[in-house]
Amino acid sequence: MTSIRATPFHGRAAASNVLNLWQPRAGWTLAERYGDADEEALAARLTCAMADITWRSRIVIEGARAQEFLARLVTRDPAALEPGTAFKALWLSDQGGVRGAGVLARHGRETFQLVSAASDLDWIARGAALFDLRVREVLEEEGMLAVVGPYAAKVLEAAGLDPALEPLTLRKLFWRGLDVTLSRFGEHGGYEIAAKADDAPLVWDRIAKAGRPYALRPAGLAAMDILDIEAGVPRPGRDYTPASGGFDAAPTPFELGLESLIDESHTLFNGRAACLAAPRTRTRVGIELDGDTPMPHAPLLRSGSEVGHTLHSLYSPALRRAIALAVVDNAAAAPGTVLTCGGVSARVVEVPFLAHPSTSSG
Amino acid sequence: MSTPHDAIVIGGGIGGLVAAAYLRQTGASVVLLEADEALGGACRKAAMLYALDPRVVKELALTRRGLKFSQRDMTLVALRQDGRHLVLGRDPHEAARAVAAYSPADAAAYKHYHSEVFALARAMRPWWWDDTAAPEHVPAKLKAMSAHAYLASHFETEALKSALAFDAAQPLAPGSALALVWRAAQETCGLQGAMAMPEGGGAALAGALIAAAKEMGAEFRTKARVKALILDGNAAAGVALDSGETVFAPVILSSLSRRATFLDLAPAASAGFAETHRLMREMQTEKETFVALTLNAAPTLGGAQLAQAARFVIAEGEPVLEAAVAASASPGQYNLWIRAKGTPSLDAVIAQLERFTPLLRSRIVGSESVTRDVARAQLLKPARERIATPIEGLFLCGGEAEPVEALSGRAGRLAAALATAYTARRKKP
């Protein structure tokens, strides 16, 4: 990424970012935190938070053969998608290495959008060219705001948006003069509102205003990372290095604990044979560390010998301890297994660490 | 639509014919689809055989079906403009003596080179002939070395180096040193590294193979060009023909190159995205030209004293070629078979030969010339990777499924075996 872009919400984010703490992500400038990251993460769990997620890669795939191409690209069959619905899936290299994970949404018969944490535009565009398809990445022209937390639905309702929407679906709305897309793709049980760049500040203002009675606060990247790890979601770049070569065999979906995103009965997807034949000797687990000090990318030992390593690690304000995602040998993956990491005791637990904050509209 | 077969073979060259015959031996119903009007493919144009698998000859009873050899061990004669032709026979001591006339050092090195290449060839043979694990020790230098460099590390005489280098399709390409070893690993007519000439040329081999497949009950369809593969999920299901007709079978063996099979016949990206792009980048560069001349008098290549049981290599000037002479079926006529590298004109080939057999042009009563692509060598790829494909039930059996493209029949034999194993797996509940 050569340039650092400001998102359409930047003006509003800057006004709230009293500490002036920014962080680059995927070429965008985003607030690292607006105040205290732990408080922002707790707000998402206990009340409500909103976050600028414009940094997500959003690739639009359009054309008569879009479904045929996507059946080759992703690990589930897009023929099953009705317009307005979505599924989570992976895409793999020829040799079964995970290149990316994301949500594939069907906007129309011949239009799909792939939303993911890291762009793989080159791979997707080169593949799509074999099917005479148009592929483009949505950048500054559209902003995306996430609203998460138990009161997210209430906030939307108060703002005049009907929150009755199933997870992994989307709806295009005309919202008091604005064209927006409301979706529920996220890992944290909330909503996303996508709007044109010019309308984005209005979306921010409306949600902020409607959220005031519910103690809604903006959450920065640090807080969203806390939610991700608590939800047990590994992210490319932060937790693992995705396959970048077309024939890379690593990382496998199994060691990342992403095998649930593979539909084995879908016979067409790229890298299927290699992926299903790959050894399944390691798996992804959660680690609860003794103490408050995170141990990112550190070896995990059992009786002195290495049985795996942590991925990203951070302090979870909800669990009041440091936690980590980790890849370990199957023999050390049983919940309750006690390992050591950097001299402190580390206990294997199931992921997610915490269920996502429930959203009640009643 | 016709009744489904057990297997479809695309292409009626040596690979397709051998595959069809072996599949019939297992009891499978086989239909062979050939785009051309005649079967045999490149086989019909070649005059000399140096890679024919002895097991194919035996198992398909090709000798009983009319394959006879007029020459079983042709001596390599490198023709030289200065008249000092270099004669390299089977006996390494005799060959060393011939080399000594040029360079005593090369004569000493020749025996060493010969034994090194032949020993390596025996070690590598199972790997090239069968579906076996990689040999434990392939000298690292050979993996990367060009034939030219490998020969230069042994010899100083240009005549000797260029004559021996002819057997590598691209003697300057990295890794082509192994092509020399591959050549020495062949066993035509029971002799390691021999070159033989069938009576009636390659057409006789084609005839014997067609007879074998036909007698075993394979169905042939000529002028049946395949337009597309039909898949069921990711598994082979049949083919669609240019005529609009469809033929169904759960096993397909393609004699075409991997590139043609996947880019022209298979659904988009079914080779995998990265593999499809690799195939698109792959450029066909190597070509060779077969020329068959009919003469009304015996040519005198290299002077009258040289035996007719020779293959002549001209590595001086362009085009680089090899040639062999055989008496024609018509009395008083002779055939001169030429395999030239690249795409020289008929005229250029004749001009090159006339430097060694004057008045050649005046003796020509008939000529035929055909240029074809040479598949790239895959000397370090296991058989399974050359033959199997990402599509279940689709196997390659053509020249590109061989370590070096040659009329060996091995790819067809192995592809049939892999296809049979696949069928058995598929039928298991």
> Which chain B residues have a beta carbon less than 8 Å from that of A131?
268-269
Residues B111, B252, single domain; the answer is no
> Which chain A residues have a beta carbon less than 8 Å from that of B425?
none
Cα separation, B96 vs B103, in Å, equals 10
Residue range B116-131, pLDDT digits in tens: 999 888 888 888 888 7
Tell me whether B54 touches chain A (CB under 8 Å): no
Tell me whether B235 touches chain A (CB under 8 Å): yes
Domain ranges, residue B311: 287-373
pLDDT at position A1 = 46
Number of domains in chain B: 3
The residues, ordered by sequence, that sit 6+ positions from A345 with a Cβ below 8 Å of its Cβ are A289, A290, A338, A339
Given a cut of 70, the residues of chain B with pLDDT beneath it are 1-2, 136, 284, 303-308, 429
Output the CA torsion sign for A260, A261, A265, A268: negative
pLDDT at position B306 = 57
Higher pLDDT pick, B175 / A112: A112
In a domain, B74, yes or no: no
Residues B343, B250, single domain; the answer is no
User: Could you tell me the CATH number of the domain that includes residue B308?
Assistant: 3.30.519.10
In a domain, B319, yes or no: yes
Mutation site for B-interface testing, chosen from A122, A135, A270 by largest number of B Cβ within 10 Å:
A270
- Select the residue of A69, A246, A268 nearest B277 (Cβ to Cβ): A246
Higher pLDDT pick, A359 / A161: A161
Cα separation, B110 vs A266, in Å, equals 59
Contact B272 A94 (CB under 8 A): yes
Tell me whether B93 touches chain A (CB under 8 Å): no
Residues B251, B364, single domain; the answer is no
User: B192, B215, B249 — which closes off a domain?
Assistant: B192
Residues B26, B152, single domain; the answer is no
Q: Are B339 and B289 in contact (CB under 8 A)?
A: yes
Tell me whether B358 touches chain A (CB under 8 Å): no
Mean pLDDT over residues A205-226, rounded?
Answer: 96
In DSSP terms, A325 is beta-bridged to A286
Query: Is residue A188 predicted with pLDDT exceeding 60?
Result: yes
In this structure, the strands spanning B75-78 and B310-314 are: parallel
Please give the residue of chain A at the shortest CA–CA distance from B268: A130
In a domain, B75, yes or no: no
Residues B382, B421, single domain; the answer is yes
> What φ, ψ does residue B187 adopt, rounded to 5°?
-145, 80
A80: confidence class by pLDDT, cuts 50, 70, 90:
very high
Tell me whether B233 touches chain A (CB under 8 Å): yes
Mean pLDDT over residues A301-323, rounded?
Answer: 94
pLDDT at position A358 = 62
| Closest CA of chain B from A89, distance in Å | 17
In a domain, B314, yes or no: yes
Q: How far is CA A103 from CA A96, A116, A187, in A?
A: 19, 6, 10
Please give the ipTM for the structure prediction. 0.89
DSSP B44-82: GT---BS---HHHHHHTTTTTTT--EEESSPEEEE--TT
Residues B230, B355, single domain; the answer is no
> What φ, ψ does residue A283 adopt, rounded to 5°?
-145, 170
Helix, coil or strand: residue B123: helix
Tell me whether A131 touches chain B (CB under 8 Å): yes
For the stretch B107-116, what's the b/e string if a residue is b when 16 or more beta carbons lie within 10 angstroms of its beta carbon?
bebbeebbeb
Query: Is residue A4 predicted with pLDDT exceeding 90?
Result: no
In a domain, B219, yes or no: yes
pLDDT at position A2 = 52
Q: Among residues A180, A172, A164, A157, which one has the least CA distance to residue A48?
A: A157
Instruction: List B residues 251-270 in contact with A (Cβ-Cβ < 8 A).
Output: 268-270
Contact A130 B268 (CB under 8 A): yes
Q: Are A274 and B275 in contact (CB under 8 A)?
A: no
Tell me whether A123 touches chain B (CB under 8 Å): yes
Mutation site for B-interface testing, chosen from A94, A135, A266 by largest number of B Cβ within 10 Å:
A94
Q: Among residues B70, B13, B83, which one has the least CA distance to residue B44?
A: B13
Residues B116, B181, single domain; the answer is yes
Residues B95, B210, single domain; the answer is no
Cα separation, A249 vs A240, in Å, equals 14
Query: Is residue A361 predicted with pLDDT exceeding 50?
Result: no
Contact B268 A94 (CB under 8 A): no
Residues B98, B224, single domain; the answer is no
Mean pLDDT over residues A281-302, rounded?
Answer: 95
| Closest CA of chain B from A227, distance in Å | 34
pLDDT at position B303 = 66
Mean pLDDT rounded to a whole number for chain A: 93
| Closest CA of chain A from B391, distance in Å | 10
pLDDT at position B200 = 83
> Which chain B residues have a beta carbon less than 8 Å from that of A271?
272
Residue range A133-186, pLDDT digits in tens: 989 999 889 999 999 999 999 999 999 999 999 999 999 999 999 999 999 999
Q: How far is CA B24 from CA A138, A166, A337, B134, B212, in A?
A: 56, 57, 58, 30, 10
- Select the residue of A69, A73, A273 nearest B390 (Cβ to Cβ): A273
Mean pLDDT over residues A279-287, rounded?
Answer: 94
Residues B267, B400, single domain; the answer is yes
In a domain, B362, yes or no: yes
User: B132, B164, B192 — which closes off a domain?
Assistant: B192
Cα separation, A42 vs A53, in Å, equals 18
Contact B234 A247 (CB under 8 A): no
Please give the residue of chain B at the shortest CA–CA distance from A132: B268
What's the burial of B309, exposed, middle or buried (CB within 10 Å: 0-12/13-18/19+)?
middle
In a domain, B366, yes or no: yes
Residues B41, B105, single domain; the answer is no
Mean pLDDT over residues A122-136, rounded?
Answer: 95
Mean pLDDT over residues A237-262, rounded?
Answer: 94
Query: Is residue A360 predicted with pLDDT exceeding 60?
Result: no
pLDDT at position A362 = 34
Joined tokens for residue B326: 């055989």
Mean pLDDT over residues A256-285, rounded?
Answer: 94
In a domain, B79, yes or no: no
What SS3 string covers B33-54?
ECCCCCCCHHHHCCCCECCCCH
> What φ, ψ does residue B300 adopt, rounded to 5°?
-115, 50
User: Could you tell me the CATH number of the domain that includes residue B215?
Assistant: 3.50.50.60
Contact A246 B269 (CB under 8 A): no
Domains of chain A, start order = 1-278 (3.30.1360.120), 281-354 (2.40.30.110)
Looking at this protein, which amino acid is placed at residue A343?
G
- Residue entry with tokens 């806390």: A226
> Which chain B residues have a beta carbon less than 8 Å from that of A270?
269, 272-273
Looking at this protein, which amino acid is placed at residue B345?
S
pTM: 0.88
CB atoms within 10 A of CB A361: 13
Residue range A7-57, pLDDT digits in tens: 999 999 999 999 999 999 989 999 999 999 999 999 999 999 999 999 999
User: B144, B175, B192 — which closes off a domain?
Assistant: B192
- Select the residue of A69, A94, A131 nearest B275 (Cβ to Cβ): A94
Residues B182, B102, single domain; the answer is yes
How many CB pairs lie under 8 A apart between chains A and B? 46
pLDDT at position B201 = 82
